Amino acid sequence: MSEFTTVPMALGDRSYDIRIGSGLLGAAGAHLGPLLRAAPAIVVTDETVARHHLATLEAALRAAAIDHRTIAVAAGEESKSFAGLADLVDRILALRPERRSTLIALGGGVIGDLAGFAAAIVLRGIDFIQIPTTLLAQVDSSVGGKTGINTRHGKNLVGSFHQPRLVLADTDLLATLAPRELRAGYAEVVKYALIDDAPLFAWLEREGARVLACDSAALGHAVVASCRAKARIVADDERETGARALLNLGHTFGHALEAESGFGPALNHGEAVAAGLALAFQLSVARGLCPAADLARLRTHLTAVGLPASLAEAGDGRWDAAALWARMMQDKKVKGGRVRLILARGIGRAFIDEVIEEAEMLRLLDGTVAV
Ligand SMILES: NC(=O)c1ccc[n+]([C@@H]2O[C@H](COP(=O)([O-])OP(=O)(O)OC[C@H]3O[C@@H](n4cnc5c(N)ncnc54)[C@H](O)[C@@H]3O)[C@@H](O)[C@H]2O)c1
Ligand SMILES: [Zn+2]
């Protein structure tokens, strides 16, 4: 078996391994075999990922005599919809799965969320395994068990908690990813560092360029550190009644920016999150909670890796404060007209703040608070 690091996701009888390393896809038979309880295993992927990586997985399964079928859906967020789910579930049922069958999600966050939700509802729940192929999926979406689809009322509004039995994160797969997609995932790594891992932030300042150049050791370090951070937080609060909200650092802003830009090509999720991280720190500084030097370090680093470091640098930079506030009020995490935000007392010291009101937010977003 190839070299890998295991990060345990501790969730009682739903615990699983996150295995991270190079060469894992080619060794998938050895990793998956012991977990498969009924034939055939059903691989769900998207057409782009299939072109790059499906042959390696299928060869590995064949070499381990693992009977499998493959379903490839169109690449892109549109597949993560009611129509996409209906089509996928139909194709899964046509393969006559049983309760002990396993679904293997080979792809980015779209495939993980869609296939994970299908696994949660087919026959009232079958096993599933994540083989994440984007940096975002390796550091974030494949871990923690949130699955679901988008509706016309918003993203991720229909779904379920359904934990995988294993996450197999092969960092080699990221070499074929578009640089902009890689940077989007990198924004989430920065997020973990800002939440509670100041040494990771210092490491990113030194080694971030190697991560983005797909250096195998650097990617491994970034993915392991991120999964450890996420696993720690999810283990404490699987269903997001408390501390899991920390993972939303930068995201209330980010989601508003994405929604306001119509989820178009001008701004992707990671870019929106990067600007959101800067805004969260900006507000923290304005409130006198966080040293200005930490905001400056964050901005310098985001700029160095090619991510937006302020609202003005996100998308076309032309944002309407009131419209962004209105988007935040639609967020599913809003309670009683107040936006719950994650703020920080410094790099690695994030906390949950319950009391952001309209006036303060508008001052921040329209630039009246200049920090
Ligand atoms: N469940 C969660 O906890 C969670 C957390 C964060 C994000 N998400 C969800 O994740 C989704 C975004 O995930 P994403 O950014 O991975 O997007 P994605 O799955 O759409 O992948 C991005 C693009 O890269 C392509 N791709 C994937 N892997 C590749 C590879 N190795 N080489 C070349 N191309 C590759 C895909 O075909 C797609 O076109 C969103 O729907 C978001 O809501 C879920
Ligand atoms: Zn995110």
Largest CA distance in the chain: 64
Each residue's pLDDT tens digit, 144-189: 999 999 999 888 999 999 999 999 999 999 999 999 999 999 999 9
Each residue's pLDDT tens digit, 258-278: 999 998 899 999 999 999 999
CA angle at 346 for the pair 344 and 352, rounded to the nearest 5°: 15
Residue with tokens 């009611």: 82
Nearest CA to ligand 1 atom 5: 141
Q: What is the pLDDT of residue 369?
A: 55
Each residue's pLDDT tens digit, 20-32: 999 999 999 999 9
- The verdict on the CB of residue 144 being under 6 Å from ligand 1 is yes
Of 219, 230, 200, 226, the closest CA to residue 21 belongs to 219
pLDDT > 80? residue 371? no
Phi, psi torsion values for 73, nearest 5 degrees: -110, 170
Closest-lying ligand 1 atom to the alpha carbon of residue 188: 6
DSSP conformation class of 141: I
Averaged over 102-112, what is the pLDDT? 98
Nearest CA to ligand 1 atom 30: 177
* Catalytic-residue membership of 230: yes
